[in-house]
Amino acid sequence: MSGDDEDNSGTALDLGRDLMLAGSRLRDAVGRRAQREFGITALQSDMLLLLATRGSMISTELASACGVNASTVTHAVDAGIERGLMRRVRNEADRRLVDIGLTVAGKRMAERVRALVADLARSALEGLGTPDLAVLAESLAQVTRNLEKD
């Protein structure tokens, strides 16, 4: 391995670690504020945002999108149903499946969570100029596309 390859490998490792750390810290901050302000967990926040965007999903899709197992999603959905934020309905295309969707209250809560995430993101990005933000946004979008290939 040449010196340049070693330098690039170290840089990639550092960037990978920094991406993971930034994502983890943002998720933790969202979870803390969502719990404090709305009484919901970070996972429920993720689920609300996903369901607001996609309409409805079956639990295995939701679990995969949130990076957790199906039983964890089941518990979070049960809690969301108890709070009147989510509902289960029979899938019209395949009656064996159950779709998870948002209630009207769930859609309102998803908007509140979206505003909370935007507020935290603004704080996290403080000090970056508009050109830097544009480069960061495109770079992160490319990272996401690259990771979706796996």
Which residue matches tokens 């607001």?
A: 52
The model's pTM is: 0.80
Domain spans, the chain? 3-148
Q: Read off the tokens for 49.
A: 């945002």
Query: What is the distance between the terminal CA atoms of the chain, rounded to a whole angstrom?
Result: 25
Q: What is the pLDDT of residues 8-49, one digit of tens each?
A: 677 888 888 888 898 889 889 999 999 999 999 999 999 999
Q: What is the pLDDT of residues 137-148, one digit of tens each?
A: 888 888 888 888
In three-state secondary structure terms, 98 is strand
How many other C-beta atoms lie within 10 A of the C-beta of residue 43?
22
1.10.10.10, 2.170.8.10, 3.30.1330.60, 3.40.50.1980: which CATH number matches 3-148?
1.10.10.10
Q: What is the pLDDT of residues 69-100, one digit of tens each?
A: 999 999 999 999 999 999 999 888 888 888 99
The 3-class secondary structure across 101-117, one letter per residue, is EECHHHHHHHHHHHHHH
| Strands (E) located in the chain | 56-58, 86-90, 98-102
Per the CB < 8 A criterion, the answer to whether 66 and 101 are in contact is no
